[in-house]
Amino acid sequence: MKKNILIIIVLLGFISCDNKLEINAPYREIPVIYGFININDTVQYLRIQKVFQNSIEVKANEASKISDSLELKNIKVQLIVVRAFTNDTINCYRTNEISKNAGFFANDKNFIYKSDVYNLKQYPDIQSVNLSVINTLTGNKYTAMCNLIGDQAIESRNITISENSANKFRFSYRINTSAFIIDAAIRLKYLEAPLSNPTAFEEKFYDYYVQSSDETAKYQPNSIVSFLIKSPDVLKDWRAYFETQSNNVIRQYVGVEYVTWGASADLLDIQEVSKPNISFVQKRTDYTNIKGGALGLFAARTINIQSAITVDNGGIAIIKALPQFQQ
């Protein structure tokens, strides 16, 4: 009996020698696709990468810095423009022409997919734009469809900027019937050049938001939305922003514009499912409208700009008195 117990103990010792626990699931290549089709752009951009999976020997924040862990290769990307009686195919090509800001993921390369030039407004019979991504090695295909968003008609306006708390001006636009969520902002445009090179001006802008997409549900499609904005509130926001910016520059006032961003129902859906449920817990972490096993979002949006916003001379003088602006 003692001999049998000894044999069992020895066998258990051999079995328990390998205590390595493999916590990773078997590797699968899962594409992640994000693209927004804008009817006002003649070139569209898509981000197509893949979910990366690090081994237990490599930390996630280390693996995320390796570009090859993120990039998908050997894929064919096309946009299919669905019209009333025919379809047009737009080819998309991988490019590294737009640099990526520093962040958690690798930024030494920023491969995105850029479409051929195609004016979506040239054909009024366009019904939708479909996405097709095919892995040329495995044959796996990932597809999505979106309906385009029409323009928001923004009213032109003569506005007065002042410190007077009684001074107000209006921002009005008409909601397009195809838009589900809209952001709206007053855009201050300016030129900026370093003091070390005072002629090397770069055009920049700062947006003061008057409406966020969470508020859009209050309005009916095709209705007119109008805001009465207090001038001192805008000035206070502008000052607070420029006080945090570099002082080693020269700024020149360019103008003021009204801007709206419209988006389709898919973007509204992802906002809703991504809201916290209890505390900071996300409702659904795997939301996607891409078919074929990919994650991500393929949707439509627009950016509409009303440049015919005239600021009074006194208001321009106040703006030029903001930090580091030239008089």
Q: Does 115 map to a domain?
A: yes
- What's the CA gap between 163 and 234, in Å, rounded? 10
Same domain, yes or no: 39 and 128: yes
Same domain, yes or no: 222 and 174: yes
Q: If you write DSSP's letter for every residue of 254-303 in order, what string do you get?
A: EEEEEEEEEE-HHHHHHHHHHSBSSTT-BS-TT-B--BSS-EEEEEEEEE
pLDDT at 277 over 70: no
Domain final residue pick, 115, 148, 181: 148
Same domain, yes or no: 316 and 238: yes
Q: Would you say 251 and 183 are in contact if contact means Cβ atoms under 8 Å apart?
A: no
Q: What is the residue whose two structure tokens read 């589900």?
A: 180
Q: Would you say 149 and 320 are in contact if contact means Cβ atoms under 8 Å apart?
A: no
CA separation, residue 56 to residues 26, 30, 51 (Å): 13, 19, 16
Q: Does 209 map to a domain?
A: yes
What is the domain-level CATH number for residue 37?
2.60.40
Among 235, 135, 220, which Cα is nearest to 177's? 220
CA separation, residue 38 to residues 41, 50, 112, 128, 265 (Å): 5, 24, 16, 12, 14
Q: Does 236 map to a domain?
A: yes
- Reported as a pLDDT band with limits 50, 70 and 90, residue 106 is low
- Which residues form the domain of 64? 31-148
Same domain, yes or no: 38 and 102: yes
Q: Does 295 map to a domain?
A: no
- What's the CA gap between 140 and 152, in Å, rounded? 38
pLDDT at 4 over 60: no
Strands 295-306 and 31-37, by their bridges, are parallel
300-316 confidence digits (pLDDT tens): 988 999 999 999 999 99
3-state DSSP assignment of residue 247: coil
Domain final residue pick, 123, 148, 173: 148
Q: DSSP secondary-structure letter at 29? A: -
**Mean pLDDT, rounded, for 259-285:** 68
The rounded radius of gyration (Å) of the Cα atoms in the chain is: 27
Q: Does 297 map to a domain?
A: no
Q: Would you say 35 and 46 are in contact if contact means Cβ atoms under 8 Å apart?
A: yes
- Reported as a pLDDT band with limits 50, 70 and 90, residue 119 is very high
Lowest mean pLDDT among 81-95, 107-121, 184-198: 107-121
120-144 confidence digits (pLDDT tens): 999 989 999 999 999 999 999 999 9
Same domain, yes or no: 57 and 160: no
Q: Would you say 130 and 231 are in contact if contact means Cβ atoms under 8 Å apart?
A: no
Q: How many domains does the chain have?
A: 2
Domain final residue pick, 112, 131, 148: 148
